[in-house]
Chains A and B, each alone.
Chain A
């Protein structure tokens, strides 16, 4: 202000400018004073907290970065170089964490499958993808293509499913489970609301039975009980059995999420569709299902994230998912004892992929809710 401090300025009525707040009540200092140092007790709490955070963060940085060892031949070697994290075990065993025991000379196949996942997913996930309608055909063919690339046959050497492990196995379980359970779950949700008694009873029974049983029980059924029911020698691949169980499990949960969406629609939508004379499938496909799925997105993504993380349960039936690989790696006498490093690494992987899924769902919700406003 250019007005001298001694003069009292006068203003016409209604023209008085806003005065700045008293010093020390606004800005950074004001915020600090109001929120952190408002009383003696709060000041003490603040100081103690700052000290704790400082101690924790510096110790963490020391362990994670400054004292960490990145190159070593064994745990003992690591400890000689520094007493922080021994990331060498991750560096040396990275291939096993990523591919399990997939043959080294064939690893381009899962890599290619993973790379192709993006053009296959893009038209499904993002409606503004260029050439969307053509790419959707590719998305449709992708499951078969991916299965062929990873398993082999028809010109490619066959890689037994026993060799799959690590993040590759998690991706196979997660992607297959999500992709296969989505249509199945939608059908179950529709079937549960069907007017045909037989279909309704069948769907309700399936959903309630599968939802009433823990996933680990289903996995045990897949890995042990099925062997008893099938004649010996005809037992089909453990991974396929597990994939089927995981898909059924996710489908039952998904069906309930979708049903929630269907029931949240106002009756008017159904009645309007009926009054237009649409057939059941046209009504479902054009009117009710798109709206119901939109409502169900948070619930569905919840199921998917749960399924993705639950895939680690396969370690109990002897499949070498990242946790299984970690156990195997730690069983090497050279690396035995480095459980913190391996489990933190796996946690980071799961956090990143689950966080990506949840961010996508938020984006999709925002995008689809435009017409509601």
Chain B
């Protein structure tokens, strides 16, 4: 039964993709003709996508959308958002309602292969962790035998939790919760001993308590959650544009190009030839094939910023969320960020 449903939905998706490839010349052309990019984002997730007091959407995921808009149009604001829930996001992408999805989506095999989507990279390496009240005196997740755990149902976190406790021969009592807000309320009310979700979410929840110091995020990371932007199968040129827009943000940080100095660096010969190629001072072979202008990366970095700047604005230690770079540091600093060379 399940496999027949899957076959049915895959068949439908294949039909849609076929029709899509027949109907449109390419996503880039469609986007250009329309005059703005349509980017799928979260309906609200601390640090990743949220409206500010004036109603402008901001966040770490939102800035990936803005980067692509800046690369394509030279204007990061030629952009419209579609707010998607965990349930509607993939359909919206596959049915061409949106051009790209940047909605803290974990890159997994089945999403990449079975759902016929293309993950173009990782903009945040997350992982599932645990938060516990300090007064519980727990130092490690291995001490959690018999604990009651607040867990969002229907997510991969639920499966990871079961795997972790089974692997360590521990028992636990799950307290099923629907949303993050509900989980926070239940955790603070003491209805569960620990709360588990992605560590970025734990940090945000901890920051939103009246006394953040009364809670600790335990050191264990029990799952890999590489979050990144994605596009649908079938348009490699468009996938390349999104991929290299993200790479440009990461490479810019590595090479010390910031939104402040990018204009100056773009108007002179730099010692680092890669900077010249990135900023269009020297020709970057194949750029025209992507249909991008010579100063695409200059616009992107000037209007959105490099990876480090974006991180510090939305997630970093100066924000209420206060996340350290951790895995999301450049490879030169012991992190996992490693942009392929611009050559």
Q: A interface vs B, CB < 8 Å?
A: 74-76, 79, 92-93, 95-96, 101, 104, 160, 162, 220, 223-224, 227-228, 231-233, 235, 315-320, 324, 327-334, 336-337, 339
The answer to whether B181 and A328 touch across the interface, beta carbons within 8 angstroms, is: no
The answer to whether B95 and A227 touch across the interface, beta carbons within 8 angstroms, is: yes
Smallest beta-carbon distance A24→chain B, Å: 48
Interface residues of B in 4-50 (CB under 8 A from A): 12-13, 15-16, 19-20, 23-24, 42-47, 49-50
Task: Give CA–CA (A351, B16) in the complex, Å.
Answer: 44
B88 within 8 A of A: yes
Contacts of A330 in B (CB 8 A): 44, 181
- Main secondary structure, interface of B, reads mixed
Given contacts A220-B87, A316-B87, contact A328 B82 (CB under 8 A): no
Q: Considering only CB atoms and an 8 Å cut-off, how many residues of chain B contact the other chain?
A: 46
Instruction: Name which residue of chain B comes closest to A92, CB basis.
Output: B53
The answer to whether A232 and B95 touch across the interface, beta carbons within 8 angstroms, is: yes
Q: A74-B320, A228-B13 are in contact. List 17 more A-B contacts (CB 8 A).
A: A76-B320, A92-B53, A96-B55, A227-B95, A228-B15, A228-B91, A232-B19, A232-B24, A233-B24, A235-B96, A318-B43, A318-B83, A332-B46, A332-B51, A333-B47, A333-B204, A336-B46
Contacts of B88 in A (CB 8 A): 223-224, 317-318
Smallest beta-carbon distance A289→chain B, Å: 41
Task: Give CA–CA (A72, B322) in the complex, Å.
Answer: 21
Smallest beta-carbon distance B97→chain A, Å: 6
Task: Give CA–CA (A228, B95) in the complex, Å.
Answer: 7
Contacts of B50 in A (CB 8 A): 328-329, 331-333
Contacts of B288 in A (CB 8 A): none
The 5 closest A-B pairs by CB, nearest first: A337-B208, A331-B44, A227-B95, A331-B50, A328-B44
Contacts of A319 in B (CB 8 A): 83
Contacts of A223 in B (CB 8 A): 88, 91
Contacts of B77 in A (CB 8 A): none
The answer to whether A333 and B320 touch across the interface, beta carbons within 8 angstroms, is: yes
The answer to whether A227 and B85 touch across the interface, beta carbons within 8 angstroms, is: no
B78 within 8 A of A: no
The answer to whether B23 and A232 touch across the interface, beta carbons within 8 angstroms, is: yes
Instruction: Name which residue of chain A comes closest to B96, CB basis.
Output: A232
Task: Give CA–CA (A365, B181) in the complex, Å.
Answer: 42
The answer to whether A316 and B85 touch across the interface, beta carbons within 8 angstroms, is: yes
Contacts of B43 in A (CB 8 A): 315, 318, 320, 324, 327-328
B293 within 8 A of A: no
Contacts of A324 in B (CB 8 A): 43-44, 83
Out of B24, B47, B205, B208, which one reaches A75, CB within 8 Å?
Answer: B208
Contacts of B42 in A (CB 8 A): 331
Contacts of A220 in B (CB 8 A): 87
The answer to whether A320 and B83 touch across the interface, beta carbons within 8 angstroms, is: yes
The answer to whether B83 and A337 touch across the interface, beta carbons within 8 angstroms, is: no
Task: Give CA–CA (A79, B13) in the complex, Å.
Answer: 50
Task: Give CA–CA (A129, B289) in the complex, Å.
Answer: 68
Out of B46, B81, B85, B97, which one reaches A331, CB within 8 Å?
Answer: B46
The answer to whether B95 and A93 touch across the interface, beta carbons within 8 angstroms, is: no
B185 within 8 A of A: yes
The answer to whether B46 and A333 touch across the interface, beta carbons within 8 angstroms, is: yes
Contacts of B83 in A (CB 8 A): 162, 318-320, 324, 328
The answer to whether A332 and B95 touch across the interface, beta carbons within 8 angstroms, is: no
Task: Give CA–CA (A101, B58) in the complex, Å.
Answer: 13
The answer to whether B208 and A336 touch across the interface, beta carbons within 8 angstroms, is: yes
Interface residues of B in 71-119 (CB under 8 A from A): 80-85, 87-88, 91-92, 95-97
Instruction: Name which residue of chain A comes closest to B38, CB basis.
Output: A162
